[in-house]
Structures are given as structure tokens and as C-alpha cells.
């Protein structure tokens, strides 16, 4: 147990509170903020529903929805135990992007009921962040909500991880002098994060991906290796050489290893079997698939993990605050592939060429300006791809993201 963390949470009794933007300290302000004045605001919105984004906080509000079925590395611990994690997520939204996020931990793990719940509460929010929902249910839930809602829906465990991993990989490949379309990538873990990583790698131009899960290498001609319909979909897109076997077989000759599974799966001999100067992304938390010192000793050129106590931390906090800030700032109705790839490029390009090295392939969470860079790139991609409902000029957009002016109508 981390006693310091326990004491912090006990002392403050949680990490969130609600504050008013308007000082209600006299009778006039009371009558303007609430009845009778607020009735005119309600009537206006009733006549023009889109004005809700102008006259309420909906433009800046995100729901963090979790069923507690896949919380961190703790597994299915339920909605109550998930709440401190979702509160923490809301704190990161506020601190890194000034987004007002609200944790909603719900007492059902039925995908249909989750979809219905989110659809029902959606008029309050400008965006939906799905969090710590187990696969394969999470795929259906996100897909269905994106069909039904006219606001961004984003499962951070999938796409946040995929965005930061691809950004880090692009810079790692600069160091070892290889291209995305030339490399062989071995992955382990084909759940929410792993599946999204594979899809994003394919979208970015990677041609040779070999993926492993509990039943070994996914192979479309071997149904026993496929655990669910999502595996079937993924298997049809990867493994061009038709490999079979274990993770050890998948890693032979690979240029890159990406793990989103559980700790301790990779041995030094597996690293030694890879191509020259291999890249290892061992992202399992809290114990990586292989520790950086062991991987380096076995010949790895670049190692990244999900931990803050090693170089090259793969951390979703570099993604989701800026991504939602950008999407909300142009009232995007979706978060599409163009916006995700824009976030990748913003993160990969944030560091100067002279800064990119084996121990620094991605920005750090507290690097000044990284969230804004992601937000600007995502907002512009939303405008260019036609999913933005407002299209401010670049200077005005920057002011909105900085919080200097309100969202335009």
C-alpha cells in the first residue's frame, strides 16, 4: 500500500469539487443566475437547442464513464473502487487542458445498458470519455455511441495509448534509421489498447505486424488462436507471413516489440532474437513485460515503459487532455482518424530534432505547451476533415484554447 497516497485521499476526501464561475452574493445575482432570470435562457435554448453550447458549460464538459470492469492493472474491481481513478482522470483534464470532466461510475457491465445510459445523459456534455471498460465490450460500446451521438466519444484506453505509442515509435525509428513501412512489429496483448495500437500502426503504414494473445500468435487460418470477433477482424489484417506459435516465435527478427499485456512475459533471449538495434515498448503496468535494464543488457537500442521512474514514459496524459481541448474548442461532432493522426504528429514533432535521443523519444507530461500543441493540431484536423461545427481562424482558435475568449457561435 502507498500510505502517502492513502493519506492524501483521506485528508481531502476525494480530489474534486464544484465551484461557481458567477459570484452569487446578492439578491440581483441570485435572480440572474437562477430564477427568474434563468427562465429566459431556458426559453432561448428551447427555441434554438444549439445555443446550449453558448449559454451553459456544455461546451467544456466531458463525462468520464466507467463500469469498473478493467481498472488500471487491477481488473474488474467495480464502480466504487474505480471512482478514485476517474476522479484522478478528471483532475488531469482540468490541470492539463482546463476541461471540466465529471466521473460517472455506473453499476452495470451490460454493454446495451451502458450505451443507453450514456445516450441518456449526453445532453449535459460536450464529449464522452469511456474509461477502464473491458474488451471486447468496449469496442461495441464506443462504436454504437459514435453512431448515436453528435458529440465526440473517445475510449482513452484504446486510442490514447495508440496515439502516444505511434508518436514515440516515429521518433524511435528516426534514431535507428528505419521506416514504418519497412519494419516488423511484434505485439502482445490484443485487448483494448493492443487492438487499437495495431489498427493505428496499420493506418500509419506498417505492413508486417505479428500479434500474440493468450492462445499464441493470431492467425486467420487457425481459429483456435482467436478469442473473440475482434480478434477475427484483427487477424484478417495482419501476419502476412502466416506465422504460428508463441510470443518467442513472433519476436524473432522483429524490429519493434510493443507490449500491452502483463509483466514479465519477455526474456532477454527473446530480445536477442530480434533484429539489430531493436525497439522495446514494454507498457504493462506496474510491472513491464521486461525491465529497461534487462532489455538494454540484451541489446535493445531504445526502451519505453508506462512507468514514470524510467525514461520514455508512455503516458496517455500527453494525449487525452489536449485532444479533448481541441475537439471541444471547435465543437467537433466526432474524433476521427484524421484528428488522432494529427495528435500523433503533434507529439512526435513537439521535440526538436536535436532533442530526440534514446532516452527522450516523446515529450514529458509537464513540458510547457505540449497540451496546447496537441489541441491546436486536433482542432485544425477537425476543421479540415469536416467534423467541426465552428471554424475559427488560427489566432482566434489559439485564444479559445488558451481560455482567453469564449467559444464562437
345 assigned ligand-binding residue: no
76 touches 1 (CB < 8 A): no
Query: Which runs of consecutive H residues, i.e. helices, occur in 262-369?
Result: 268-272, 292-297, 320-329, 337-348
Instruction: Write down the pTM of the prediction.
Output: 0.92
Q: What is the mean pLDDT of the chain?
A: 94
131 assigned ligand-binding residue: yes
Average pLDDT value for residue range 32-49 = 95
**Count of residues making up the chain:** 409
Average pLDDT value for residue range 79-84 = 96
Q: Tens of pLDDT along 248-258? A: 999 999 999 99
d(CA 301, CA 279): 6
* CA 46-47-50 angle, 5° bins: 80
DSSP states along 382-395: HHHHT--S----HH
Active site residue 89: yes
CA dihedral 308, 311, 315, 319 (to 10 degrees): 140
Q: Which is catalytic among the residues 34, 43, 48, 113?
A: 34
Question: Which set of grid coordinates corresponds to residue 75?
Answer: 481488473
132 assigned ligand-binding residue: yes
Whether the link from the prior residue into 327 is cis, omega within 30° of 0, is: no
If pLDDT is split at 50, 70 and 90, which confidence band does 135 have? confident
pLDDT of res. 407:
57
62 touches 126 (CB < 8 A): yes
Active site residue 48: no
CA of residue 269 relative to chain centroid, distance = 32
Residue 409 has pLDDT above 80, yes or no: no
Question: Which set of grid coordinates corresponds to residue 288?
Answer: 513491464
Looking at the DSSP assignment, which residues form a beta bridge with residue 280?
Answer: 257, 303
Residue 141 has pLDDT above 70, yes or no: yes
221 assigned ligand-binding residue: no
* Ordered structural domains, the chain, with CATH: 3-151 (3.40.50.10380), 159-305 (3.40.50.720), 316-402 (no CATH)
Question: Which set of grid coordinates corresponds to residue 253?
Answer: 527478427
Give the orientation angle of helix 192-204 with respect to helix 156-176, to 10 degrees. Answer: 50
CA dihedral 193, 195, 201, 204 (to 10 degrees): -100
H or E segment at 216? strand 216-217
What backbone torsions phi and psi does residue 232 show, to the nearest 5 degrees? -60, -45
What backbone torsions phi and psi does residue 103 show, to the nearest 5 degrees? -75, 130
d(CA 383, CA 380): 5
pLDDT of res. 403:
81
* CA 272-169-182 angle, 5° bins: 70
pLDDT of res. 406:
61
315 assigned ligand-binding residue: yes
Amino acid at each position: 500500500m502507498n500510505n502517502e497516497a492513502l493519506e492524501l485521499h483521506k485528508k481531502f476526501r476525494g480530489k474534486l469539487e464544484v465551484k461557481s464561475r458567477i459570484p452569487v452574493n446578492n439578491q440581483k445575482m441570485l435572480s440572474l443566475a437562477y430564477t427568474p432570470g434563468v427562465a429566459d435562457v431556458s426559453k432561448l435554448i428551447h427555441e434554438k437547442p444549439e445555443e446550449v453550447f453558448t449559454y451553459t458549460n456544455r461546451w467544456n464538459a466531458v463525462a468520464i464513464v466507467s463500469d469498473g470492469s478493467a481498472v488500471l492493472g487491477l481488473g474488474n474491481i467495480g464502480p466504487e473502487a474505480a471512482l478514485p481513478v476517474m476522479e484522478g482522470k478528471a483532475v488531469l483534464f482540468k490541470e492539463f487542458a482546463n476541461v471540466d470532466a465529471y466521473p460517472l461510475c455506473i453499476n452495470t457491465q451490460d454493454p446495451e445498458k451502458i450505451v443507453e445510459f450514456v445516450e441518456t445523459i449526453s445532453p449535459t456534455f460536450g464529449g464522452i470519455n469511456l474509461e477502464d471498460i473491458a474488451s471486447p465490450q468496449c469496442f461495441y460500446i464506443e462504436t454504437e455511441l459514435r453512431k448515436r451521438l453528435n458529440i465526440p466519444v473517445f475510449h482513452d484506453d484504446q486510442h490514447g495509448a495508440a496515439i502516444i505509442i505511434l508518436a514515440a515509435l516515429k521518433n524511435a525509428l528516426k534514431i535507428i534509421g528505419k521506416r514504418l513501412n519497412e519494419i516488423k512489429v511484434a505485439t502482445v496483448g490484443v485487448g483494448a489498447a493492443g487492438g487499437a495500437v495495431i489498427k493505428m500502426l496499420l493506418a500509419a503504414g506498417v505492413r508486417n505486424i505479428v500479434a500474440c494473445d493468450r492462445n499464441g500468435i493470431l492467425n486467420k487460418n487457425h481459429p483456435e488462436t482467436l478469442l473473440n470477433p475482434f480478434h477475427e477482424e484483427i487477424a484478417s489484417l495482419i501476419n502476412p507471413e502466416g506465422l504460428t506459435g508463441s510470443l518467442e516465435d513472433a519476436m524473432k527478427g522483429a524490429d519493434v516489440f510493443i507490449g500491452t499485456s502483463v509483466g514479465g512475459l519477455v526474456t532477454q533471449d527473446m530480445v536477442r532474437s530480434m533484429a539489430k538495434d531493436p525497439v522495446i515498448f514494454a507498457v504493462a503496468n506496474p510491472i513491464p513485460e521486461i525491465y529497461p535494464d534487462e532489455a538494454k543488457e540484451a541489446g535493445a537500442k531504445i526502451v519505453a515503459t508506462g512507468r514514470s521512474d524510467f525514461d520514455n514514459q508512455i503516458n496517455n496524459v500527453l494525449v487525452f487532455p489536449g485532444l479533448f481541448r481541441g475537439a471541444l474548442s471547435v465543437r467537433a461532432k466526432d474524433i476521427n482518424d484524421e484528428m488522432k493522426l494529427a495528435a500523433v504528429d503533434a507529439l512526435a514533432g513537439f521535440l526538436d530534432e536535436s532533442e530526440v535521443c534514446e532516452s527522450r523519444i516523446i515529450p514529458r507530461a509537464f513540458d510547457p505547451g505540449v497540451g496546447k500543441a496537441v489541441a491546436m493540431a486536433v482542432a485544425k484536423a477537425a476543421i479540415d476533415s469536416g467534423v467541426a461545427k465552428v471554424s475559427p481562424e488560427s489566432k482566434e482558435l489559439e485564444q479559445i484554447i488558451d481560455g482567453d475568449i469564449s467559444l464562437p457561435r
